[in-house]
């Protein structure tokens, strides 16, 4: 299967970008950091002999895809992946909706996968059109009263149709500790609602319809045990929330949606292999890091825009926003991530981006082929819109013209760009992209001299919120 590509030519410019010589100068340092990530981190993690400046060392995300695939090949249904498949497949005929409760990395990856790989109107499709895969909703990521109440009303008795399955929903609750306020409050509310709606059937169904993803111990694990949940999936040790998309945190919702989790993990493995073996000049991870790091250091590009050119990928950009911000926004360092969706945002924020403060680099995410047939502009007898001259053009043609036109305009105003080119949008490519960006974030953090793992600032807000609640 094809690997995604990276093109930095839009940033190699003496006037507004960086030089090839600058990129080449980082080769030795980047190769040292690659060895550290591929070899040293795992040895230190496995031995428990972790230097103080690398604690926490949540590096297990790197080898987790191989680990999960190997376990499935050996143990099948007894493996974590096999158990995920068994639960998800077993509920497809029993429910019509699933509510995913989680915040930050506990839901952003799952939402990104749904929006990237499912029909954009998945939740509005009939059960038959969805192949009995459930509608999926996300809550527990806020404390917005109206939003929570609306979803509680949406999933209450009566459901979407008269069949038993279409009256039932499941709860996928994701929290390593169970102590995160937003998710814990939502789970209490949605659990009470589900139990009430099941009525006399609660004893038979509650343990099946509540699917927890949590740590091996903690508040949520204790609550799941009290409920008697049929399965409790584990957030692996050594995997931080924002690095957990290819763990059960992301795989459980993906499996419920019927996405190809095997291809997702295989895509991540392919990116790992590429990162480990490809020469520096051809290594998409190292080139992405080198170019963006140099632009921030030498051209003061303090804002890193992920400019996505597919509506399906907007949530992937938002997932990356969290990954980069929480990982490398420390010690007064790190760039500010920002996601834009084009061509939509060309008509809102782009004026400022092109001719406002020159503090941004634009990383385009471009998809080469579409899943559906190309829609032509078409010829019309009503030509008041004067489009008949491009009647034979189609939407991909217009998108390609917009991408080139935007890059050319940015370059004319001295703004650097890069292109991340995806052959198509599927789970294999998505696995590549997730893994590429996670590896890149760690490598760049170490270039900056900070630990990309941990989030002390987030922990401080949690402490203050609890204090304000009198706890």
pLDDT, tens digit, 9 for 90 and up, residues 81-120: 999 999 999 999 999 999 999 999 999 999 999 999 999 9
Q: Is residue 368 part of a domain?
A: yes
What per-residue confidence (pLDDT) applies to 289? 98
Query: What is the domain-level CATH number for residue 344?
Result: 3.40.50.10490
Same domain assignment for residues 175 and 225: yes
Domain-terminating residue out of 230, 259, 288: 259
- The mean of the pLDDT values for the chain is 95
Q: Is residue 219 part of a domain?
A: yes
Kindly write down the DSSP assignment for every residue of 39-51, as one continuous string.
IIHHHHHHH----
Which domain range does residue 441 map to?
5-52+264-456
Of 141, 233, 230, 232, nearest to 190 by C-alpha is 141
How would residue 423 be classed by pLDDT, with cut points 50, 70 and 90?
very high
Structure tokens at 243: 């690095």
Mean pLDDT throughout 321-328? 97
- Of the residues 80, 182, 197, 326, which is catalytic? 326
Same domain assignment for residues 364 and 231: no
Q: What 8-state DSSP symbol labels residue 4?
A: P
Question: Active site includes 92?
Answer: no
**Helix, strand, or coil (residue 129):** coil
Question: In the chain, what is the straight-line distance between the N-terminal and C-terminal CA atoms, in Å?
Answer: 53
Question: Active site includes 139?
Answer: no
How would residue 157 be classed by pLDDT, with cut points 50, 70 and 90?
low
Instruction: Encode pLDDT of 43-82 as tens digits.
Output: 999 999 999 999 999 999 999 999 999 999 999 999 999 9
* Beta strand ranges found along 251-379 (DSSP E): 303-308, 336-341, 360-367
Same domain assignment for residues 165 and 67: yes
Question: Active site includes 115?
Answer: no
How would residue 179 be classed by pLDDT, with cut points 50, 70 and 90?
confident
Instruction: Encode pLDDT of 330-387 as tens digits.
Output: 999 999 999 999 999 999 999 999 999 999 999 999 999 999 999 999 999 999 999 9
What per-residue confidence (pLDDT) applies to 468? 85
Q: Is residue 463 part of a domain?
A: no
- Of the residues 333, 379, 404, 462, which is catalytic? 462
Helix (H) or strand (E) holding 138: strand 135-139
Distance, in Å, from the CA atom of 458 to the CA atom of 106, rounded to the nearest integer, reads 14
Among all chains, which residue has been given the structure tokens 């489009």? 387
Q: Is residue 461 part of a domain?
A: no
Among all chains, which residue has been given the structure tokens 């990116």? 271
- Using the predicted structure, report yes or no on whether residue 11 has a pLDDT greater than 80: yes
What per-residue confidence (pLDDT) applies to 469? 80
What per-residue confidence (pLDDT) applies to 159? 63
**Helix, strand, or coil (residue 412):** helix
What per-residue confidence (pLDDT) applies to 456? 79
Same domain assignment for residues 195 and 150: yes
Structure tokens at 309: 């050119």
Contacts of 361 (CB under 8 A, 6+ apart): 11, 292, 295, 296, 299, 301, 303, 304, 305, 415, 416, 417, 418
Mean pLDDT throughout 451-458? 85
**Burial of 329 per CB tally in 10 Å (0-12, 13-18, 19+):** middle
Residues 391, 395, 397, 398: is their CA dihedral positive or negative?
Answer: positive
Of 375, 373, 372, 376, nearest to 425 by C-alpha is 372
Same domain assignment for residues 231 and 354: no
Give how far the C-alpha of residue 448 lies from the chain's centroid of Cα atoms, to the nearest Å. 23
Same domain assignment for residues 200 and 298: no
Domain-terminating residue out of 233, 259, 285: 259
**Burial of 265 per CB tally in 10 Å (0-12, 13-18, 19+):** buried
- Of the residues 43, 74, 347, 381, which is catalytic? 347
Instruction: Encode pLDDT of 131-141 as tens digits.
Output: 999 999 999 99
Same domain assignment for residues 369 and 434: yes
- Using the predicted structure, report yes or no on whether residue 244 has a pLDDT greater than 60: yes
Same domain assignment for residues 189 and 298: no
How would residue 158 be classed by pLDDT, with cut points 50, 70 and 90?
low
Structural domain count of the chain: 2
Same domain assignment for residues 197 and 308: no
Of 188, 176, 288, nearest to 242 by C-alpha is 176
Same domain assignment for residues 324 and 194: no
């Amino acid at each position: 299967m094809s690997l995604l590509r990276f093109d930095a030519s839009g940033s190699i410019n003496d006037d507004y970008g960086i030089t090839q010589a600058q990129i080449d100068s980082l080769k030795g340092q980047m190769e040292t950091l690659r060895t550290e990530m591929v070899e040293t981190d795992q040895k230190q993690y496995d031995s428990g002999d972790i230097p103080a400046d690398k604690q926490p060392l949540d590096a297990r995300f790197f080898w987790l895809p191989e680990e999960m695939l190997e376990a499935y090949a050996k143990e099948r249904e007894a493996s974590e992946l096999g158990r995920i498949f068994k639960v998800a497949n077993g509920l497809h005929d029993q429910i019509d909706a699933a509510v995913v409760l989680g915040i930050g990395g506990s839901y952003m990856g799952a939402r990104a996968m749904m929006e990237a790989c499912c029909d954009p109107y998945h939740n509005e499709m009939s059960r038959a059109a969805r192949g009995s895969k459930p509608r999926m909703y996300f809550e527990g990521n806020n404390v917005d009263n109206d939003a929570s109440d609306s979803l509680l009303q949406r999933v209450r008795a009566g459901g979407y149709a008269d069949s038993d399955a279409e009256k039932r929903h499941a709860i996928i609750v994701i929290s390593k500790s169970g102590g995160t306020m937003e998710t814990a409050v939502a789970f209490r509310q949605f659990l009470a609602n589900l139990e009430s709606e099941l009525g006399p059937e609660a004893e038979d169904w509650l343990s099946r319809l509540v699917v927890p993803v949590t740590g091996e111990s903690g508040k949520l694990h204790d609550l799941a045990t009290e409920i008697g949940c049929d399965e409790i999936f584990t957030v692996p040790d050594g995997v931080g929330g924002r690095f957990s998309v290819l763990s059960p945190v992301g795989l459980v919702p993906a499996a419920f949606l019927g996405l190809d989790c095997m291809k997702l993990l295989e895509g991540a493995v392919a990116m790992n292999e590429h990162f480990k073996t490809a020469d520096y000049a051809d290594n998409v991870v190292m080139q992405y890091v080198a170019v963006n790091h140099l632009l921030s250091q030498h051209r003061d590009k303090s804002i890193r825009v992920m400019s996505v050119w597919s509506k399906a990928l907007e949530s992937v950009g938002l997932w990356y926003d969290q990954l980069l911000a929480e990982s490398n926004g420390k010690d007064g360092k790190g760039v500010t991530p920002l996601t834009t969706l084009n061509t939509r945002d060309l008509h809102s924020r782009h004026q400022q981006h092109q001719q406002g403060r020159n503090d941004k680099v634009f990383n385009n995410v471009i998809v080469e082929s579409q899943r559906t047939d190309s829609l032509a502009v078409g010829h019309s007898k009503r030509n008041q819109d004067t489009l008949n001259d491009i009647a034979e053009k189609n939407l991909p043609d217009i998108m390609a013209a917009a991408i080139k036109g935007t890059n050319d305009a940015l370059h004319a105003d001295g703004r650097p760009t890069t292109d991340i080119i995806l052959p198509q949008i599927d789970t294999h490519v998505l696995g590549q992209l997730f893994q590429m960006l996670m590896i890149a974030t760690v490598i760049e953090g170490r270039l900056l001299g900070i630990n990309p793992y941990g989030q002390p600032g987030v922990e401080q807000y949690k402490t203050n919120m609890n204090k304000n609640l009198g706890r």
